[in-house]
């Protein structure tokens, strides 16, 4: 026996266990998905009931959009507020630097101003020494001292003033730089503060909706996989999702009942079918029932809207679960509804479909079992034969 045969033998041994494990995990995931959808629908139902008393009147989707905007603004407000405060701190720091530089400049500029007032070095006596002119003034005084253009009596004072040249020039540059940076930063401060104010207004605009939406916030903030996504769906759309998962859950439930209790007295037309196919069929037929019943006018002769926000989610869930469990009977029920709506020969006016010929045995027609949705009879029994519908042999 080579290695390939060994691996095939091992695969044959473990395949049943692996298959059973995969099916069990899939069943648990499907059941979890159904529970999450059901929880989301229940939360939406509670919120919708509370919004009915809200003034002004507002629907679920509009209220959720407002609340989502408010929570987004709340999350962005902290960052914008921090940015505004940081910029304000930067401006305050620049102001302090400018004030310190101004104090240094004013304390050192008096000797220089005295020389300028004396009219030496070609400087006008009325010249005012400012941070933006200190470089030019000090350069003029330095040339005067070098060229001996200053009287001997004032040379000492001029040399003393030149000793403060570096400090004065540095203080002047600091004053000018701080002032320019402040002027460039102030618009950013104003914009950041205005944006923070706007976000603060937005985050407080939906405070009246926080209490009605408390069940939804529980699904959004708790680690419930899928809950935060489902509550974003409008109720009408979530009903379709719930119909599908209710049908798959019902089919899964019946499948597990047949697996655990193989001798169950449940009456099925033809028990069988693969695991996945039966569950998928349950979901699809539940959606079909939802659409047919939701039509209202076509089937029930009414104008009831199943997509109304006030619709009972329990009713939808019950219909979907039963449709998934007894999909064979529901298929017959849908078939009879189609026969009532379209007629015996379908919507086409021509091209009748031939019916199989049946010999009249003289016995009364046998009644079908499970003709109606939710009946207790078996869904797969023969349909009652109506002699009026039979073609002559």
Q: Confidence band (pLDDT; 50, 70, 90) for 296?
A: low
* 292 and 319 housed in the same domain: yes
| 217 to 51, 78, 347: CA distances (angstroms) | 15, 20, 49
* 270 and 303 housed in the same domain: yes
Each residue's pLDDT tens digit, 74-95: 889 999 999 999 999 999 999 9
Classify residue 296 by burial, with Cβ atoms within 10 Å: 0-12, 13-18, 19+: middle
* 199 and 342 housed in the same domain: no
**What is the domain extent for residue 151?**
69-203
Side-chain-side CA neighbours of 383 within 13 Å: the count stands at 11
Question: Has residue 252 been placed in a domain?
Answer: yes
* 47 and 118 housed in the same domain: no
Question: Has residue 218 been placed in a domain?
Answer: no
Stated pTM of the model: 0.60
* 194 and 295 housed in the same domain: no
* 265 and 382 housed in the same domain: yes
Nearest one of 329, 381, 328, 393 to 357, comparing CA atoms? 393
> Is the pLDDT score of 294 beyond 60?
yes
pLDDT over 70, % of the chain: 76
Residues in Cβ contact with 282 at an 8 Å cutoff, skipping those fewer than 6 apart:
247, 248, 249, 250, 251, 252, 254, 323, 324, 325, 327
HEC per residue, 333-366? HHHHHHHHHHCCCCCCCCCCCCCCCCCCCCCCCC
Question: Has residue 89 been placed in a domain?
Answer: yes
Work out whether the CA dihedral 266, 270, 272, 278 comes out positive or negative.
negative
User: Of 203, 238, 254, which residue constitutes the final position of a domain?
Assistant: 203
- Two tokens at 221? 């903030």
- Residue 228: its pLDDT value, please? 86
Question: Has residue 96 been placed in a domain?
Answer: yes
Nearest one of 277, 305, 286 to 247, comparing CA atoms? 286
* 162 and 113 housed in the same domain: yes
* 241 and 338 housed in the same domain: yes
* 287 and 192 housed in the same domain: no
Between 366 and 145, name the one with better pLDDT: 145
* 272 and 342 housed in the same domain: yes
* 197 and 231 housed in the same domain: no
CA–CA separation, 275 and 264 (whole Å): 18
E-state strands within 243-315: none
- Residues counted in the chain: 393
Question: Has residue 3 been placed in a domain?
Answer: no
Question: Has residue 269 been placed in a domain?
Answer: yes
Find the distance separating the first CA and the last CA of the chain, reported in whole Å.
65
Side-chain-side CA neighbours of 83 within 13 Å: the count stands at 17
Question: Has residue 5 been placed in a domain?
Answer: no
- State the CATH number of the domain containing residue 160: 1.10.287
Peptide bond into 344 cis (omega under 30): no
CA–CA separation, 60 and 40 (whole Å): 13
Side-chain-side CA neighbours of 106 within 13 Å: the count stands at 6
Least confident interval from 28-42, 68-82, 119-133, 224-238: 119-133
Element (H, E) at 46: helix 3-51
Question: Has residue 62 been placed in a domain?
Answer: no
* Highest mean pLDDT of the ranges 123-132, 179-188, 201-210: 179-188
* Highest mean pLDDT of the ranges 291-295, 296-300, 373-377: 291-295
Q: Confidence band (pLDDT; 50, 70, 90) for 344?
A: low
Total tally of structural domains belonging to the chain: 2
* 74 and 25 housed in the same domain: no
Cβ 140 vs Cβ 121: under 8 Å: yes
Least confident interval from 112-116, 177-181, 284-288, 377-381: 377-381
């Amino acid at each position: 026996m080579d290695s390939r045969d060994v691996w095939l033998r091992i695969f044959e041994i473990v395949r049943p266990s692996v298959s059973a494990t995969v099916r069990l995990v899939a069943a648990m995931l499907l059941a979890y998905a159904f529970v999450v959808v059901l929880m989301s629908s229940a939360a939406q139902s509670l919120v919708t009931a509370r919004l009915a008393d809200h003034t002004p009147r507002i629907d679920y989707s509009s209220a959720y959009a407002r609340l989502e905007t408010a929570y987004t603004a709340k999350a962005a407000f902290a960052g914008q507020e921090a940015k505004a405060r940081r910029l304000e701190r930067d401006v305050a720091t620049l102001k302090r630097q400018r004030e310190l530089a101004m104090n240094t400049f004013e304390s050192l500029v008096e000797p220089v101003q005295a020389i300028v007032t004396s009219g030496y070095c070609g400087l006008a006596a009325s010249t005012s020494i400012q941070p933006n002119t200190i470089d030019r003034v000090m350069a003029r005084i330095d040339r005067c001292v070098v060229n001996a253009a200053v009287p001997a009596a004032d040379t000492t004072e001029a040399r003393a003033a030149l000793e403060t040249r570096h400090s004065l020039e540095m203080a002047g540059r600091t004053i000018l730089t701080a002032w320019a940076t402040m002027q460039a930063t102030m618009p950013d401060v104003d914009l950041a503060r205005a944006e923070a104010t706007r976000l603060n207004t937005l985050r407080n605009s939906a405070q009246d909706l926080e209490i009605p939406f408390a069940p939804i916030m529980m699904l959004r903030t708790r680690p419930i996989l899928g809950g935060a996504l489902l509550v974003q769906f409008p109720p009408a759309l979530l009903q379709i999702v719930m119909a599908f998962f209710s049908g798959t859950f019902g089919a899964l439930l019946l499948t597990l009942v047949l697996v655990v209790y193989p001798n169950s007295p449940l009456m099925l037309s033809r028990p069988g079918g693969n695991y996945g196919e039966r569950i998928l069929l349950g979901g699809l037929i539940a959606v079909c029932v939802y659409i047919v019943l939701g039509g209202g006018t076509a089937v029930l002769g009414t104008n009831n809207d199943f997509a109304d926000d006030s619709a009972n989610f329990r009713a939808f869930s019950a219909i979907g679960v039963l449709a998934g469990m007894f999909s064979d009977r529901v298929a017959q029920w849908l078939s009879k509804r189609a026969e009532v709506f379209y007629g015996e020969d379908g919507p086409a006016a021509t091209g009748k479909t031939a019916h199989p010929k049946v010999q009249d045995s003289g016995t009364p027609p046998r009644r079908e079992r499970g003709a109606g949705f939710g009946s207790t009879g078996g869904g797969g029994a023969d349909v009652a034969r109506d002699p009026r519908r039979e073609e002559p042999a």
